[in-house]
Amino acid sequence: MDADVIVVGAGLAGLVATAELADAGRRVLLLDQEPEASLGGQAHWSFGGLFLVDSPEQRRLGVRDSHELAWQDWLGTAGFDRDEDHWPRRWAEAYVDFAATEKRSWLHSQGLRFFPLVQWAERGGALATGHGNSVPRFHITWGTGPGVLEPFLRRVRAAEERGLVSIRCRHRVTGLSTSAGAVDGVRGEVLEPSDVSRGEPSSRAVAGEFDLRAQAVVVTSGGIGGNLPLVRENWPSWLGAPPQRMIAGVPDHVDGLLQGVVGETGGRIINSDRMWHYTEGIRNYAPVWTEHGIRILPGPSSFWIDARGERLPQPLFPGTDTLATLAHINRTGHEHTWFVLNRRIITREFALSGSEQNPDLTGRSVGEVLRRGGEVTPPPVAEFVRRGSDFVTRRTLPELVRGMNELVGEDLIDPARLERDIRARDREVASGLGKDAQVNLIREARRYPVDRMVRVAPPHELLDPAAGPLIAVRLSLLTRKTLGGVETDLDARVLGEGGEPLPGLYAAGEVAGFGGGGMHGYRSLEGTFLGGCLFSGRTAGRAAARATA
């Protein structure tokens, strides 16, 4: 035996599983196809937002959350409706329990801290039993994604020093070995050394082979979002034809190939047509990975129009319902949409997802963070306005529309019609009351102190020259999370076609749909992915440690 347990994939889920295994005294081989520079996988790039329920941070802000309310929101959002949802639903129940109880104290005891202003993502916009967070639950980690990884990297490095963990980079697993019906190892290719920086695509040239044995294997290889052909192949038929043009919200290593290997070994892959992609993607002017896109985390005020200039229908306002918006856009016959806004809105409401786009929070700089919500556009956003290929800035609306049409190379937007619609919206603002659902959503959002302080611009007329210049942002579909995956039971054991565990094989993190093969169902409440990796990685590590005692 080369180790007690082999963990494949050194992202967040793999690091958590490894840390737990080592704490239980197991000898672990942690394999990853990427070079050492990319250790931590997607979590490093993440915004570090975590879904917590009834936390001290929420209570301090006067938010009254509860386990019952969170479960109501989860069920309304997930929309479980298949036989395959048995384990996903049980994982969801266990996860919401975790988020309402132990999650915060477990992380806190390892040194993780939260930014005190809890954010309100995926607000929904229909009925109490429908999609969305009834209250703000998105807790940003102080230090963002790298801050989430920190305690687990520390534990794994300490175990490495004790001789319990060996990390082998450039080891790409292509097969699982079995004997007497149990998984007992992995085989694959040693890739040639690579000195690319974190997140950059690395060479796939093969320099050798390996064959390693252990009592158990934990697969934590991530989702499929960096593999655009695979995303198209799995595209849900109920969303229509897969988009031709997508940008990638994840690095190239999120290739989904190991999921296929688990399937070939007898593991059941379920809910492959469930994915969580964003409709507010912009091209990165300084790409790190292939087709690198960034997601705008929008406040509610931008005027959202489709490619032909038609306003998106209620309740599809920014930040309300990602999947319903995606379904709507797919029916318009065009793949892009536009935010039309002004300087006042962009300054207050635009945030960009990702650790590198939030140097103040990532660098834990109190002074920098205090500038948020002021009169100055955050520097990473200002840089996109200046250099991003999707931004048009002009003084007047006719000029703006001319710039938008030039950008797409077609006169798709009629300036007179857009002006009519924006002026109608502006009249509703001026009325002080009004019937426009988006204007009312903005007013409603400002009842939450955090939104009023730093996130939502006071309602004002979009065409008010004092709030200008006007800005238009072309939005593309950005791939990100894989919601379905390898079916697992509550011990993270991989299940076969007949529902029986495959001895020796465990899966956690995004490859397992964050638990069970899809604990989110069709949609997410946000901040639930890192949390899903923490919870399922911990579960898999502890279960594999028990099984190999």
**Positions in the binding site for ligand FAD (CB under 6 A):** 8-14, 31-34, 41-43, 45-49, 172-173, 220-222, 249-250, 253-254, 257-258, 353-354, 481, 509-510, 527-531, 533
CA–CA distance, 473 with 488 (Å, rounded to integer): 41
Which residues of 144-181 form beta strands (DSSP E)? 165-168, 171-179
CB of 467 to ligand FAD, least distance (A): 29
CB of 11 to ligand FAD, least distance (A): 2
CB of 427 to ligand FAD, least distance (A): 37
Pairing between strand 216-219 and 501-507?
parallel
Task: Select 248 or 439, whichever has its Cβ closest to ligand FAD.
Answer: 248
H/E element, 8? strand 5-8
Task: Select 70 or 470, whichever has its Cβ closest to ligand FAD.
Answer: 70
Task: Select 42 or 393, whichever has its Cβ closest to ligand FAD.
Answer: 42
Q: Which of 277-289 are b and which e, b meaning 16 or more Cβ less than 10 Å from the residue's Cβ?
A: bbbbbbbbeeebb
Cis previous bond, 229, omega within 30: no
CB of 327 to ligand FAD, least distance (A): 22
CA–CA distance, 112 with 55 (Å, rounded to integer): 14
H/E element, 278? strand 275-283
Nearest residue to ligand FAD by CB is 11
- Give the max Cα distance, the chain: 75
Task: Select 133 or 438, whichever has its Cβ closest to ligand FAD.
Answer: 133
CB of 214 to ligand FAD, least distance (A): 15
Task: Select 488 or 528, whichever has its Cβ closest to ligand FAD.
Answer: 528
For 445, the 3-state DSSP assignment is helix
**Side chain identity at residue 133, one-letter code:** N
Cβ contact 104:52 at 8 Å: yes
Please, what is the Cα angle at 444 between 443 and 450, to 5 degrees?
Answer: 95
CB of 495 to ligand FAD, least distance (A): 18
CB of 62 to ligand FAD, least distance (A): 24
Task: Select 141 or 337, whichever has its Cβ closest to ligand FAD.
Answer: 141
The torsion defined by the Cα of 276, 510, 355 and 389, in degrees rounded to 10, comes to: -40
CA–CA distance, 16 with 20 (Å, rounded to integer): 6
Cβ contact 53:137 at 8 Å: yes
Residue 367 vs residues 289, 360, 364, 370: alpha-carbon distances, Å: 31, 8, 9, 5
CB of 457 to ligand FAD, least distance (A): 23
DSSP-H helix ranges across 199-342: 228-233, 257-264, 322-331
Task: Select 26 or 253, whichever has its Cβ closest to ligand FAD.
Answer: 253
Task: Select 76 or 531, whichever has its Cβ closest to ligand FAD.
Answer: 531
Task: Select 12 or 442, whichever has its Cβ closest to ligand FAD.
Answer: 12
Task: Select 258 or 429, whichever has its Cβ closest to ligand FAD.
Answer: 258
CB of 504 to ligand FAD, least distance (A): 18
CB of 28 to ligand FAD, least distance (A): 14
